[in-house]
Amino acid sequence: MSAPRWEVEGRDWPNRAYSRFVDAAGVRWHVQVMGDGPVLLLLHGTGAATHSWRALMPLLANHYTVVAPDLPGHGFTRGRGAGGLAMPAMARSVSGLLGALALRPQVIVGHSAGAAIAIRMTLDRLVSPDAIVGLDAAVLPFPGLGAMLFPSLARLLFVNPFASHFLARLARTPGETARFLVRSTGSHIDAAGVRFYERLFSTSDHCAGAIRMMAEWDLETLKRDLPRLQTRLLLLHGKADSAIPLSSAEEAAGMVEGATVIPLAGAGHLAHEERPEDIAAMIVRFAGVPG
């Protein structure tokens, strides 16, 4: 297996000056902390890392102390806590990191699977934010056949010892990562963003972490528990998202009292990378700057 190396794949990592490595909850975390004010936690989605926030994070840091970790199994974070990469375990692991940093988030912004972790953390009373913002949130089971096929496929890939190596080799094919991102997300991000994804996808450890996270994911339980959420919830969702349909966000919002959905015309699953200024403004407008 090969892992992303901080001095190689991370040599010019976005916002590198704000990076640190912290041991907590059985994990050695790569985490970035930037800004001043109330704490805002950023949780990336499956297969991504802190580079996903490269443009959004500095904008939010004008208003908040922004904390952005690489989740277990992803990026430059090493190890995994008890329970592996299942959603409740990930929630506990992130909570352990926050405890080590002595930070309590007033706002949590989660992209895709990161939104599910944010909601799970809140439902399990590991955190008590004033607001949660889901960006193209993956919080409900996939529609139709995807509900059955997606988890099963991920489990098959996980038990195949060659799957992550094959995916890493594929990512090294010129232009393949860019094509994959457009096909799988509906987003068109800049060349620098594609290069960072390419670096991560080219390492088998990162691919294995993403596969294992998908294999261990349980969205049925989250759907059952979602109506218990009492925290203010905003879902920003790209209308061109080819990974998760807008109807999924609308259904999820209908299950949480007072939740709001804002469709983003022309944006895909990586809307926060395509339109960071717009996303930052909507987050600040919704969450405010709580005391």
CB neighbour class for 4 (10 Å; exposed up to 12, middle 13-18, buried from 19): buried
From 223, 29, 38, 247, select the one nearest 123 (Cα to Cα).
223
Nearest by Cα to 47 from 148, 133, 162, 157: 157
Domain boundaries, the chain: 16-287
Instruction: Give the model's pLDDT for residue 174.
Output: 75
Q: Is 23 helix (H, G, I), strand (E, B) or coil?
A: strand
Q: Which of 130, 108, 103 lies closest to 119, judged by CA?
A: 108
Q: What is the pLDDT of residues 143-196, one digit of tens each?
A: 643 444 445 444 444 344 444 544 566 567 778 888 888 988 999 999 999 999
Q: 94: which 2 tokens? A: 């992130």
pLDDT tens digits, 223-275: 999 999 999 999 999 999 998 999 999 999 999 999 999 999 999 999 999 99
Token digits of residue 60: 């939010």
Calpha distance 154→84 (Å, rounded) = 15
Give the separation between CA 213 and CA 133, rounded to whole angstroms: 21
Quick check: 263 and 246 in contact, CB under 8 A? yes
CB 146 within 8 A of CB 244: no
Topology of domain 16-287, CATH = Rossmann fold (3.40.50)
The order of strands in the sheet holding 131-135 is 19-24, 27-35, 65-69, 39-43, 107-111, 131-135, 232-238, 260-264
Q: What is the pLDDT of residue 147?
A: 44
Contact, 33 vs 101, CB < 8 A? yes
Q: Name which of 7-16, 133-142, 169-178 the model is least confident about.
A: 169-178
**What is the tens place of the pLDDT at every residue in 36-72?**
999 999 999 999 999 999 999 999 999 999 999 999 9
DSSP string, 47-69: T--GGGGTTHHHHHTTTSEEEEE
160 Cβ contact list (under 8 Å, min separation 6): none
pLDDT at 169: 63
pLDDT value, residue 208 = 85
Give how far the C-alpha of residue 213 lies from the chain's centroid of Cα atoms, to the nearest Å.
11
* Whole-number pLDDT of residue 81: 87
Predicted structure pTM score? 0.92
